[in-house]
Amino acid sequence: MKYEQEIQARKLHKLFFDIFGKESPQTDIQVEGFGVHWSCKVSRNNRRCIISCFEYHGYAISYELDKETVATGRTQDDDELISSVCSWLEGNDLREMYELYKFVDRTIRFLREFQVRVLSLQPEIEQCVNVRIDQEYGEFYDLWFTTQQRSCQVSFYGEGEFPDAEFYWDDSYMFKLSVEKSDIIALLLKRWLCDFAMPSDLEQEFSWLDTGKLAKYYEQGRGIEGEFILSWDFIEEFYSGPMGRMPQSPDVLRMIAQMREQGFDKTLRAGQSLYTFIVSRSRRHGLRTDQPSIFFDFEDDGMTVNYFGTDGEEKLFSPEIEYTPQIEDLLKRLEAENIS
């Protein structure tokens, strides 16, 4: 069975061979891959293009000079792809490639231009904010505006025309906006990062802005408590929704509601792994193996509870999924652990 990615790569090989085979025999054309990972490599002298195939997502291309990647691009247009490869092998420099092909380095070019535009609109940002661009991989980059307590990450997701700006407080996500109108985003960045404007004030200034539930807790000085509470909201939505719904869900949700009535949603973070319900004192989402926690596993014949704390480990089995004094004791012991 041939995957579509292999068919794409071999089709490209034939197209480039038809173009260069007779007129430019010094051009080397190769196909490499396995499974769904296939690429076509076209090189001449010290220049090379590596074209990775992604079925209906088109192609990701890297343009190399002396074995160093100097530009990347992504396109679904075969003609555009072939033309850009020919231009690169014929010796076009980066400036010429930018003029001819909008898709070459599209994301990094946009982020650089956006950075310049923001700093020209709000010069104060450059005085109080650290600005940098990080490469994740390939053509995926992040533009960061950071201060000691707050930050904003501007990134492209998927094939959108504009990136999103995600706003953070103490490394916790608050809200995001599409970066279409740079003048508005620039002002919002200045107010968020330089002026340390409160979310409620921003919502007054920008009537269309919703800074989200968590921002309200941070404004009140209850950021960690807010993160914990919202994690319990999420876990209730999980066991109520299609991804987490199971025969035991009504009993699980009843037990979780009883835990929340006792206030544990303000002191413990809730989460899940597959259908397992987990509570911890983790400061951030994503439990580490060394962090104290309690795992609730639900089975046809009841519930197994595993406690992992600095004061030892304990395992309970209950024929019913219910909130019991034994579980309350474990939750209080976990509550006494340090947040980490």
pLDDT of 4? 93
Q: What is the pTM of this model?
A: 0.87
Amino acid 173 reads Y
* pLDDT by 10-residue block (mean), the chain, 340 residues: 90 92 86 95 96 92 96 94 96 97 96 97 96 90 97 89 95 94 94 98 96 96 97 97 91 97 98 96 92 95 95 94 96 96
Q: Which residue has the tokens 């002298």?
A: 45
Q: Is the CB of residue 109 less than 8 Å from the CB of residue 142?
A: no
Q: Is the CB of residue 222 less than 8 Å from the CB of residue 213?
A: no
Look up residue 76 and give its DSSP letter: S
Alpha helices in the chain (DSSP H): 4-20, 78-89, 94-100, 106-121, 124-128, 182-189, 199-205, 213-219, 223-240, 249-261, 325-335
pLDDT of 243? 87
Q: Is the CB of residue 232 less than 8 Å from the CB of residue 272?
A: no
pLDDT of 163? 95
Whole-angstrom Cα distance, residue 184 to residue 270? Answer: 36
pLDDT of 161? 87
pLDDT of 23? 74
